Amino acid sequence: MSGRFLSIGECMVELSQAGGGLLRKGFAGDTLNTAWYARACMQPAWSVDYFTALGDDPMSDEMIAFFEEAGIGTKLIRRIKGKAPGLYLINLRNGERFFSYWRENSAARQLAADPDRLREAIEGSDVVYFSGITLAILPREDADTLLAETRRAKAAGKFVVFDPNIRPRLWASYDVMHTTISEGARSSSLVMPSFEDEALHFGDDSIEATVHRYRALGAPNVAIKNGAEGVTLNFAGQQNFVPAEKVKEVVDTTSAGDSFNGSFLAKYLETKDPVASAHFAAKVAARVVSEHGALVAKDKLGL
Ligand code: ADP
């Protein structure tokens, strides 16, 4: 089987402590991480493309080269004169990670400002992936443009996948966040939330409540991640639970959810079997939390 997978969102420059006051540079962002794991796990006949906006600076060039190296297509990426990618820094304080962000002015904020380009990219894809972070970074009217396109894609029979990835500080208000995330889910074929976030920010008192809320919005399929517990699947009304894998030592949970999503989709698009896909994704995510960093190399994923 073959197809075209498109992930839409923001990738940032990541700076982490390398000792002696030095900083190490990497690239990461939720939708890019998912594209990375989708690419690592998908059959070669599938293409994986990233849709974002970057600048015309050397850092944007480096990022493009990095995507290409990973086998992620870059031909749809918009380049904006005078702009640059967003950036974040991981600080360690007593072993805890704290993040500082410089992303308010990033090129990616304009990724939906050219509606024709966005439509063309989505029309040329079979599977469209986006997140609550993708929606949160956009100006209000551009978020509406993106939502109109994902609704259109779903209506045209494309498989639209949405991870709410709730980050309150990216949103103007709780009200806007609740409404826009609900619209994202409404426009999707599959919603892949994390229960911890949903309980905290939507007040769901059980996984069942999250399943019900997203299905009632019109998402026919949901996969609700719950960390070391496992995943609850409800595909077309059929409910299943798939436990997480046991991990000897959890080293870094960054991108656990993103790696689950990417590997789940790789398997699901091939097999249409949500349970088998969740078992596979639980194995991949278990490897990811056993290693440092958001993007774990393919040869360490045990594929
Ligand atoms: P998010 O990163 O979006 O909050 P979760 O924390 O729910 O997502 O984790 C996503 C997936 O990663 C889980 O469904 C599980 O398969 C795996 N995972 C996360 N934490 C652990 C853990 N401590 N042990 C084993 N698997 C884990």
228 lines ligand 1 (CB under 6 A): yes
User: What percentage of residues in the chain have a pLDDT greater than 70?
Assistant: 100
pLDDT for residue 167:
96
Among protein residues, the one whose CA lies closest to atom 1 of ligand 1: 257
Q: What is the pLDDT of residues 163-173, one digit of tens each?
A: 999 999 999 99
**Closest residue CA from atom 6 of ligand 1:** 227
Ligand 1 atom 17: residue of nearest CA: 285
Q: For the complex shown, is ipTM > 0.90?
A: yes
Structural domains for the chain: 3-11+29-84+106-300 (3.40.1190.20)
Strands 12-19 and 22-28: antiparallel
Instruction: State mean pLDDT over 184-188.
Output: 98
Note the pTM of the prediction, 2 decimals: 0.97
Query: What does the pLDDT read at residue 267?
Result: 98
Bridge partners for 5 per DSSP: 48, 127
Residue type, 96: E
Residue 83 CA to ligand 1 center (angstroms) comes to: 35
Give, for ligand 1, the residue of 97, 249, 253, 290 to mutate: max count of ligand atoms closer than 8 Å to Cβ.
Answer: 253
Ligand 1 pocket check for 225: Cβ under 6 Å: yes
With both helix axes pointing from N to C terminus, report the angle between 195-202 and 207-217 in degrees, rounded to the nearest 10: 80
Question: How far, in Å, CA of 260 to CA of 278, rounded?
Answer: 8
236-246 pLDDT tens trace: 999 999 999 99
Which among 114, 175, 258, 273 is annotated as catalytic?
A: 258
**Is the dihedral angle over the CA atoms 139, 144, 145, 150 positive or is it negative?**
positive
Does ligand 1 come within 6 angstroms of the Cβ of 226? yes
Kindly report the three-state secondary structure assignment for every residue of 31-93.
HHHHHHHHHHHCCCCEEEEEECEEECCHHHHHHHHHHHHCCCECCCCEEECCCCCCEEEEEEE
| Residue 134 scores a pLDDT above 90 | yes
Confidence of residue 96 (pLDDT cuts 50, 70, 90): confident
What's the pLDDT band for 201 if we cut at 50, 70, 90?
very high
* pLDDT bucket at 94, cuts 50 / 70 / 90: confident
Q: Which of 91-95, 139-143, 188-192, 273-277 has the lowest average pLDDT?
A: 91-95
The answer to whether residue 95 scores a pLDDT higher than 80 is no
57 C-beta closer than 6 A to ligand 1: no
Q: Computed from CA positions of residues 149, 50, 297, 253, in that sequence, does the dihedral angle turn out positive or negative?
A: negative
Average pLDDT of the segment spanning 187-208: 98
Nearest CA to 4 out of 102, 148, 123 is that of 123
Q: Is the CB of 218 under 6 A from ligand 1?
A: no
Q: Whose CA is nearest to atom 21 of ligand 1?
A: 228
pLDDT tens digits, 17-63: 898 999 999 999 999 999 999 999 999 999 999 999 999 999 999 99
For ligand 1, mutation pick of 37, 260, 277 (most atoms within 8 Å of CB): 260
In this prediction, residue 97 has a pLDDT band, given cuts at 50, 70 and 90, of confident
Residue pLDDT, tens place only, 62-86: 999 999 999 999 999 999 999 999 9
Reported as a pLDDT band with limits 50, 70 and 90, residue 157 is: very high
- Per-chain mean pLDDT for the chain: 96
Q: Pull the structure tokens for residue 98.
A: 């704290």
CA atoms within 13 A on the CB side of 270: 17
In degrees rounded to 5, what are phi and psi of residue 63?
-65, -45
The answer to whether 132 and 184 have CB atoms below 8 angstroms apart is yes
Give, as one character, the DSSP assignment of residue 170. G
Ligand 1 mean position, distance from CA 184 (Å): 22
The region, left, alpha or beta by phi > 0 then psi within -120 to 50, assigned to residue 7 is beta
Q: How far is the CA of 257 from the centre of ligand 1 (A)?
A: 6
What average pLDDT score do residues 281-292 get?
96
Our answer to whether residue 258 is catalytic in this structure is yes
